[in-house]
Amino acid sequence: MSEQKKTNIILFSGDYDKAMAAYIIANGAAAYDHEVTIFHTFWGLNALRKDEPIQVKKNLLEKAFGKIMPRGPEKMGLSNMNFMGIGPKLIKKVMKKHNAMPLSDLIEMAEEQEINLIACTMTMDLLGLDKIELRESTEYAGVAAYLAEAEDGAVNMFI
């Protein structure tokens, strides 16, 4: 029996459309029985945020970052044609019509398929994000641990 193939994705972007692409690829690879990991770093961490506000002790700058950054997938903007927030609404309307899954459903599907959703601890510190602000399924690791995995990946992507 051959070894299980791996797909490793670094999700750096905080754009709705790019995160959608990442999760579509991830879910697709998991369906092909790959072991799939999404390493969320920088703005990509926002995809893992819970959508309700959570009380955490933060300094002024961290508070500001926390307010400005989108709380969870459905608050994220588009990389293109965002039009001050109207773009995402339009896209989601069309997605609904075509029965395409919104990002939040794609993330739930990833959880069901046991895709490893990792948050980069170093950039969590930089953006002042706390573990209790992120989804329960989130795992935590530094970039070194991720790279140890990535070198055996059949597919590696930076999104």
Where along the sequence are the contacts to its own copies (CB under 8 A)? 5, 7, 10, 12-14, 17-18, 21, 24-25, 28-29, 31-32, 34, 41-43, 61-62, 65, 68-69, 79-81, 90-91, 93-95, 98, 100, 122, 125-126, 128, 143-144, 147-148, 150-159
CA distance 81 to 14: 15
Q: Among residues 136 and 151, whose Cβ is nearest to its own copies?
A: 151
Least separation in angstroms between residue 134's CB and its own copies is: 18
Q: Among residues 106 and 134, whose Cβ is nearest to its own copies?
A: 106
Least separation in angstroms between residue 5's CB and its own copies is: 6
Q: In which residue are the tokens 């994220």 written?
A: 76
How many residues are recorded in the chain? 159
- Whether the CB-CB separation of 148 and 3 falls below 8 Å is answered with no
Q: Among residues 62 and 108, whose Cβ is nearest to its own copies?
A: 62
Q: Among residues 136 and 158, whose Cβ is nearest to its own copies?
A: 158
Least separation in angstroms between residue 153's CB and its own copies is: 7
Q: Among residues 13 and 136, whose Cβ is nearest to its own copies?
A: 13
- Whether the CB-CB separation of 159 and 20 falls below 8 Å is answered with no
Please give the C-alpha separations between residue 131 and each of 29, 54, 118, in angstroms, as whole numbers. 27, 11, 11
Least separation in angstroms between residue 94's CB and its own copies is: 5
Residue-wise burial string across 126-135, b where 16 or more C-beta atoms lie within 10 A, e elsewhere? ebbbeeebbb
SS3 7: strand
